[in-house]
Amino acid sequence: MIPDQLKTALAEHIAASITPREAAVTVMKELQAHYGWLTDEAVAEAAQLLGISPLQVEELATFYEMIYRRPVGKRVVHVCDSISCWAMGGESLLGQLAARLGIPVGGTDPEGMFTLLPCCCLGNCGDAPTMMVGDNLYGRLTLETALGVLEQERESAKM
Amino acid sequence: MNDGIVVNVCMGTGGIAAGGDMVMQEFIKEFETAGVKNATVKEKCRLHKVGCRGFCARDVLVDITVDGQVSTYQYIQPEMVKRLVQEHVLGAKPITEWLVGDDYHVFHDNQTKRVLADLGKIDPESIEEYLGVDGYKAAEKTLTTMKPEEVIQVVKDSGLRGRGGGGFPTGVKWSFCAANKADQRYIICNADEGDPGAFMDRSVVEGNPHAVIEGMIIGAYAIGASVGYVYIRAEYPLAVDRLRLALKHAEERGFLGKKLFGTDFSLKIKVKLGAGAFVCGEETALIASIEGERGMPRAKPPFPANKGLWGKPTIINNVETFANIPQIMNKGAAWYASIGSEKSKGTKVIALTGKIKNTGLIEIPMGMPLKDIIFKVGGGIEGNKLFKAVQTGGPSGGCIPQQFIDLPVDYEGLASVGSMMGSGGMVVLDETDCMVNISKFFLQFTQSESCGKCVPCRIGTKRLLEILTRITEGEGKEGDIELLQQLAEDVRDSSLCGLGMSAPNPVISTIKYFRHEYEAHIKHKKCPAKVCNKLLTFFIREDMCVGCGMCAKACSVNAISGEKKQPHKINNSMCIQCGSCFDACKFSAVLKE
Ligand SMILES: Cc1cc2nc3c(=O)[nH]c(=O)nc-3n(C[C@H](O)[C@H](O)[C@H](O)COP(=O)(O)O)c2cc1C
């Protein structure tokens, strides 16, 4: 269940939209921010708020890569696999990070700290290879600096 | 500002990722300390965060201006700030060894900056600074002294063409929209910038958001729209923040809202965040996404200018297109059209990346020869390797080989060699890049981004990718090239939207210009650029190996053996050519042939 405050805020947002559906992605994202991922409960809640069926929410949720219908770690790590990063060793960075975290690309580590995802593109092409953890962007990475970043993020997630 | 001291710190996404935030904090700290000792410093010093000025490879860039004398420093890190403040700010002596070199000036001197002119100069979070460079003057002039038709005529006369990829004349598009009878019209700024390798729209929104907003106000007035949207990627958090702040500031000043500049014209602009789908950059998909449907394209016509958002006439333009508008209105169509080539006027912002010395964001007059971009502005190939090709237009574009190095870069020029402008990404490739692999890379992208609505794109890109994968893994067959060509043409000719129509371009152009590389993979099972691992043999150079064991650890099939501190060996009968050992070795002892 989402707190009443969030529910009211979302209802207001929907009311201010041109059609309720216009608010669908925002509502899903807010619910996701609350639960950590878009749970089945969240799908039902979104459907109710938007006045559409859960299936219609599902249909939207599965279209967008940034809506997670499975649990993700506390920090989602997006490693850029776009052309500029790829030309600068992004692919091998992604592979090595997966090996170090002991998870496949797309997986989440057993502690539930990191989910590793490829992403195309982060628009930081001048500073390739790049990754984004949460809203923080890191450029010109090597395996060492990337692992350092993950350590930092791990610490900050604990706080 | 000729007196006093101004310090500009580059705080675009690239600048921040390179430590710009920390550099800024250090300056604040050092100024505080210095200010206590020397009161005049505090009064005269202005610390200033600015957007990206394009030379991302040298971040963090810092300008220190003392009495009108600008010095630019490169690669500045927090621990260097103390000395900068002590010696340059307080002591008025520049630290020569940290200054940018001639190449920085060559990089800038060969550009023509219009859209990017104020990036790196003004603080994007301050509306006052935008007003200081004549900001919102164009909107005021347009709304208070011109009729909508006149505005459209000026934009038509300027020759401005859409910068989002299609290159459609902006003024003409606006006139189509204005010609519809409708109770409601919409204006949309496409800031979805999904092309891999492109970051010009991000930099413009981050570095000068008000210019985009002002362009939208003028466009909205011209077509009679009272509601606008900026559809921006969620992957660009800094751009989103700056855009929201700029919209808030513009509203506070009355540049947005009701009765703008004392006229009866009203405009509200909303921000819509994407959620990670490339195809949403396509205009009809973008509209569906704003409406809260799955972001899938539909057939055109009807074009959005006639039937767009919620069925109403809608104009969608790219970020850079809008950013050009205020200058056109301020300085006139003739000024705008005074540079560029015959059919492509003005400038184009280009994201120059890949194997090039000066990676970054550049702005060139349309029609500049490719070789000037690569060898003058770009400073040539990184590491003195051989130039092989330049990939333009992202996944919808193609690869342009050495023989077209004199090609003028404009819409027609690029199209004439089977590539395209796209949003303006340029990835430089050198002799160590495999063209078959590049083509596979882009197909991987388009195949995974295909929304699946139409069959040719959904299945065609998949089949193309399968064939390319086979070829790069040494399973290529006689006839594969012809099959690729046939399939590529079919997908191009029968897909629903631009994604599918252009997805085969990388394949078509690499076969056209680098057929011999395909043949080497297929007939001789060789990758001439030594990129496709499955076609290579891995071995370890005894004289370079220190026996650290990293390669053996990385090997998933235990094909590497050796005593600690002794040279290791790869058992080629077990090796699966995954390349992990190559990546893991820090001593360049693993070779592939
Ligand atoms: C698959 C696909 C992706 C696109 N992505 C973008 C984009 O990210 N940004 C953009 O401005 N235009 C993009 N476009 C082009 C838009 O459909 C549209 O033509 C453009 O926004 C019009 O603006 P302009 O006339 O100012 O160029 C894309 C087109 C296709 C087919």
Rounded distance from Cα B586 to ligand 1 centre (Å): 42
Looking at this protein, which amino acid is placed at residue B519? E
Q: Which is it for strands B387-392 and B227-232: parallel, antiparallel or unpaired?
A: unpaired
Angle at B506 between CA B433 and CA B319, to 5 degrees: 105
Percent of chain A with pLDDT over 90: 78
Which of the four CATH numbers 3.40.366.30, 3.30.70.20, 3.20.20.370, 3.90.120.10 does domain B537-592 have?
3.30.70.20
Query: Looking at ligand 1, which atom is closest to the CA of residue B198?
Result: 8
Which CATH architecture describes the domain B435-523?
Up-down Bundle (1.20)
CATH annotation of B5-100: 3.40.30.10
From residue B68, give the alpha-carbon distance in Å to each of B1, B5, B63. Answer: 7, 8, 11
**How does pLDDT run across B539-557, given as a tens digit for each residue?**
999 999 999 999 999 898 9
CATH annotation of A4-63: 1.10.10
The answer to whether A84 and B391 have CB atoms below 8 angstroms apart is: no
Q: Whose CA is nearest to atom 22 of ligand 1?
A: B317
Q: What is the pLDDT of residue B1?
A: 39
Task: Select from A28, A59, A83, A132 the residue whose CB has the most chain B CBs within 10 Å, as the one to mutate to test that interface.
Answer: A83
Split at pLDDT 50, 70, 90, the class of B270 is very high
Where along chain A do the CATH 3.40.30.10 domains lie?
Answer: 75-158
Radius of gyration, CA atoms only, chain B: 26
Q: Whose CA is nearest to atom 6 of ligand 1?
A: B281
Split at pLDDT 50, 70, 90, the class of A124 is confident
Q: Coil, helix or strand for B130?
A: helix
Element (H, E) at B300: none
Radius of gyration, CA atoms only, chain A: 18
Q: Which two tokens stand for residue B135?
A: 């900001």
Where along chain A do the CATH 1.10.10 domains lie?
Answer: 4-63
Q: Coil, helix or strand for B73?
A: strand
Range with lowest mean pLDDT among A119-128, B165-174, B191-200, B323-332: A119-128
Which of B283, B321, B322 gets mutated to test ligand 1 (max ligand atoms within 8 A of its CB)? B283
Whether the pLDDT of residue B197 is over 50: the answer is yes
B347-430 folds as Ubiquitin-like (UB roll) (3.10.20)
pTM: 0.93
The answer to whether A114 and A108 have CB atoms below 8 angstroms apart is: yes
CATH annotation of B134-337: 3.40.50.11540
Q: Please give, rounded to a whole number of angstroms, the shortest distance from the CA of A40 to a CA of chain B.
A: 19
Longest dimension (CA), chain B: 83
Q: Which two tokens stand for residue B128?
A: 């006052």
CA B590 remoteness from chain centre: 35
Looking at this protein, which amino acid is placed at residue B593? E
Looking at this protein, which amino acid is placed at residue B343? K
Rounded distance from Cα B282 to ligand 1 centre (Å): 5
- Locate the domains of chain B by residue range: 5-100, 134-337, 347-430, 435-523, 537-592
Highest CATH level, class, for A75-158: alpha beta
Q: Which two tokens stand for residue B407?
A: 């090609």
Q: What is the pLDDT of residue B2?
A: 41
Residues of chain B neighbouring A21 (CB-CB closer than 8 A): 291-293
Task: Report the mean per-residue pLDDT for chain B.
Answer: 93
The answer to whether B285 and B296 have CB atoms below 8 angstroms apart is: yes
Q: Which two tokens stand for residue B306?
A: 């006639």
Name which of A24, A96, A120 is nearest B196 (Cβ-Cβ): A120
Q: Coil, helix or strand for B220?
A: helix
Q: What is the pLDDT of residue B93?
A: 92
The answer to whether B200 and B208 have CB atoms below 8 angstroms apart is: no
Q: How many CA atoms lie less than 13 Å away from B6 in the CB half-sphere?
A: 19
